[in-house]
Amino acid sequence: MKSFQVIVFSCIIASSYGAKCVYYGSPSETGEQTATGESFNPMGMTTAALPYLPFGTMLQVTNQRTGGSIVVRVNDRFGAPPSEDTLDLTYGAFGALANHDDGVFPCSYSIL
């Protein structure tokens, strides 16, 4: 029975979730506080806003169109209620995965 429980737990951890990636933040917001009190850097590669995961959760985010991926950390929340399938990235993190002119792209994310 113990080995069955370990297998189930491993499957839960390795799950990938689908979402829409969007971006937020402008240069004028540099230094503002995130929901965790950290300094916001819109060009940074580490900030993500998601309403239901604990702060500090590390995510591997993958652009489903290109296969490119980055690792970000949840340290902010949305200003307005988003749909649950939206992952908000900084301008810099979004730009590492897609063209800003797209504004949104289909992504998947895994909890690390």
pLDDT tens-digit map of 38-88: 998 888 887 788 777 899 999 999 999 999 999 999 988 876 555 668 888
What domains, with CATH codes, occur in the chain?
16-111 (2.40.40.10)
Looking up tokens 């839960």 gives 12
pTM: 0.79
**Residues 6+ positions from 18 with CB-CB distance below 8 Å:** 64, 85, 106, 107, 108
Alpha carbons 50 and 77: distance in angstroms, whole number = 6
